[in-house]
Amino acid sequence: MPYKIGEVARILGISADLLRYYEEKGVVAPAKDPQNNYRYYDTWDINYLIDCLWYKNFGFGIEQVASMVTEYSYDTLAQTLEAKSEELRASIRHQELLLQRISKFQERLAETKSFVGQCDLRECAAFYCYINRHNSEYDNRSGTAELSRRWLKYMPFSRRYFEIPEDAMAGGDDDYNWGFSIAAQYIEEFGVDISPPVREMKPRLCVHSAFISAGQDRFSARKLDFLLDYARENNLEPDGAAFGNLACSVMEDGEQTGYFEVWLPVKKK
């Protein structure tokens, strides 16, 4: 029994445009009425179109689907399915990592907000980082710009990272640096190049806390004075630049407000 293009579209739940595309690619060859140019599809045509839907629902593109139905040998099909299996496994792995990352992000947000202005002593986890901005000036050299583009693609596994030098914390120039960091666990996962200027940051004892900076250009080393007070009260002294990450940026009281997690390396006096 012949079927018009609209009938086939309803039977299969696909558009008339897609039917015409598969005709153009040689998947089907509907008969045409010479008087009105209407297309008429037979059962074999519909069978081929169902084959197309079978492969399309594995995630193959319509152009590749057309080739799979009209050109592929048994061996070529088997190789193509294996390649798709690898692609799907990689996609599933990435989705699993994203789910873990968003769960960790939720935990970090809750902890950061509750920990603002409070301090404790803990060991930071190992991570890697690099700097691409000093105060408000970005390093626009080609090598650094290329590195930044690569690390932006690692988001949300890479994070906004800052450092405040010891002399700035001690009351010198109010300098700070920005860049990106990524946890050590993701280096192998994503094949991250860790050659300079990327640096490894090993676990070390730190005063740990969180702070808020509201408004534009108000980020300052003075935000960390309370960490220095805590260190002195506990017979500790700074042992390197303070560092941390932007936990989130939100609107509060009409101002853009950043929540920051911070670590101040310390040693016994």
**Strands of the sheet with 3-4, listed across from one edge:** 3-4, 39-41, 31-32
Whether residues 135 and 218 fall in one domain: yes
Number of domains into which the chain is organized: 2
CATH classification at residue 59 = 1.10.1660.10
* Cα distances (angstroms) measured from residue 137 to each of 141, 151, 175, 178: 12, 19, 11, 10
Residue 132 near residue 144, CB atoms below 8 Å: yes
Whether residues 236 and 181 fall in one domain: yes
Domain carrying residue 184: 95-268
Phi, psi of 238, deg, nearest 5:
-60, 145
What integer best gives the mean pLDDT of the chain?
93
The predicted pLDDT at position 216 comes to 78
The predicted pLDDT at position 172 comes to 64
Residue 224 near residue 175, CB atoms below 8 Å: no
* Cα distances (angstroms) measured from residue 260 to each of 44, 211, 220, 224, 234: 64, 5, 12, 11, 23
- pLDDT band at 219; cut points 50, 70, 90: confident
Whether residues 146 and 228 fall in one domain: yes
Whether residues 36 and 148 fall in one domain: no
Residue 265 near residue 240, CB atoms below 8 Å: yes
Taking the CA atoms of 117, 160, 205 and 237 in sequence, report the sign of the dihedral they define: negative
Whether residues 104 and 39 fall in one domain: no
Residue 119 covered by a domain = yes
Residue 79 covered by a domain = no
Tell me the percentage of the chain whose pLDDT exceeds 70: 99
Residue 88 covered by a domain = no
CATH classification at residue 263 = 3.20.80.10
Whether residues 130 and 177 fall in one domain: yes
**Six-digit token pair at 238?**
């700074």
Q: Can you tell me the mean pLDDT for 55-66?
A: 96
What are 137-192's pLDDT values in tens digits? 998 888 899 999 999 999 999 999 999 998 888 776 778 999 999 999 999 999 99
Q: Can you tell me the mean pLDDT for 87-113?
A: 95
Whether residues 55 and 121 fall in one domain: no
The predicted pLDDT at position 168 comes to 86
